[in-house]
A and B are shown apart, each in its own frame.
Chain A
Amino acid sequence: MDKKKIVVRFYRFPNRLKEKTAGLAPGKANISTEALEAAEAALNKMSEDYPDWVSGLLVKLQEQHGRCVDTPEKRPEFFEEINHIAHDMKGQGGTFGYPLITKFSDSLYGFTIKRPGEITDNQIELVKSHVDAMRAIIRGRVSGDGGEIGAKLSESLDEAIATYEAG
């Protein structure tokens, strides 16, 4: 039927999305300044709730930590939950002014990823070190890189990681 073999197809469609949002008038449109400002304001409002949201998750992490201590045979199950909570936390700390929460929860996420082998007491201690460090950040509202306090928290957490991983 078709003599020539098609090697590439280019699909060029009219820009329906542009038509939908900016009509048929030529030229570039803008997002209205008012809308942008309103969205920024909404984001700021959400930022105010961010520490409370993190605190809620920290309580959950603490509970899971307690269960790991009390019921060692079920640690893989609890670790999965810890990993899940850490994942939720690590995404957007920077946007809300808490990059250290992102950093620490990312670290917590990394070492609670499912892997073969027993979950040791040291690893459980390390969960606690992370929870404590994030608590300190939220309690002290340590935003940004946290200056001296932030550096100190990062440092002591790194030390804890080095100690427990070596053990």
Chain B
Amino acid sequence: MSDYDFDRVNVLVAEDSPFIRSLLVNSLKVLGVGNVFAVEHGGDAIHFLQRVKNEPMKVGVQQIDIIISNWDMSPIDGMMFLRWVRRHKDSPDRFVPFMLITSYTEPERIVQAREMGVSDMLAKPFTIKHIGEKLISIIERPRQFVHNAEFFGPDRRRQKLGPKGPERRMLTDKSEGVEIIRG
């Protein structure tokens, strides 16, 4: 089995605590991530992504491959940032893998993040092992994106499980009203 080469990967980190920010940046760099950009909160992160879109040469990066953002930040928190990335017309990539870091692990919080289109969550306090596992999950198990009237984001079904009762899902890939888009 070969090793990942993260050298060409660009990661954006949004974290307001200076100590944790440098911890994250350091860990990613030591793991071999080629480019790590760090900002202090969601507002700065949005501003940064706008610059990546408008003046990539100046920023020195064409595309951010993974976003890792704290949830609890002010004035713009991680959820607002995620909302912007997934839904705003100025977002440079609405499909970018987005990982939220949080010390809130109550189920309703996780559901809230999932409904907003989060790709993965990293619980605080985290370890290097956790970071590594999440990176592998993002690379190895990307999910299709779903867009309907209520939702836009990575498929909320992670596993292919059959229904417990009779099949009540109405739509298949072939159904009218279903459009498959392949990049």
Contacts and interface: CB of A to CB of B under 8 A. Distances in A.
Partners in one complex: yes
Nearest to A99: B125
Interface string B24-66: 0011001110000000000000000000000000000000011
Q: Pick the most buried of A10, A30, A46, A93: most chain B CB atoms within 10 A of its CB.
A: A10
Contact of A13 (B149, B178, B183): B183
B30 A28 contact: no
Chain A interface, >50% SS class:
mixed
A92 B125 contact: yes
Contacts of A92: 17, 19-20, 23, 124-126
A81 B12 CA distance: 27
Give the interface size bracket for B toward A. 35 or more
B19 A53 contact: yes
A76 to B, nearest CB: 16
Contacts of B167: none
A35 B30 contact: yes
Nearest to B127: A95
A1 interface: no
Contacts of B178: 6-10
Interface stretch (A14-22, A61-69, A137-145, A147-155): A14-22
Contact of A15 (B20, B142, B182): B142
Nearest to A21: B4
A166 interface: no
Contacts of A10: 144-147, 173, 178-181
Contacts of B97: 17
B180 A42 contact: no
A48 to B, nearest CB: 13
Give the interface size bracket for A toward B. 35 or more
Given A11-B145, A88-B17, A94 B171 contact: no
Given A30-B4, A31-B4, A20 B9 contact: yes
24 contacts: A8-B147, A8-B177, A9-B178, A9-B179, A10-B173, A10-B178, A11-B147, A12-B182, A17-B142, A18-B142, A21-B4, A21-B6, A22-B4, A22-B5, A22-B139, A30-B1, A31-B3, A36-B31, A39-B30, A39-B131, A42-B26, A46-B23, A46-B26, A91-B103
CB-based closest 9 A-B pairs: A94-B125, A13-B183, A11-B145, A32-B3, A95-B125, A7-B177, A39-B30, A8-B148, A9-B147
Given A42-B26, A92-B125, 12 more contacts: A7-B171, A9-B147, A10-B147, A11-B183, A12-B183, A21-B5, A25-B2, A30-B2, A32-B4, A38-B30, A39-B30, A46-B22
Interface of B: 1-6, 8-9, 16-20, 22-23, 26-27, 30-32, 65-66, 72, 95, 97, 103, 124-129, 131-132, 135-136, 138-140, 142, 144-149, 171, 173, 176-183
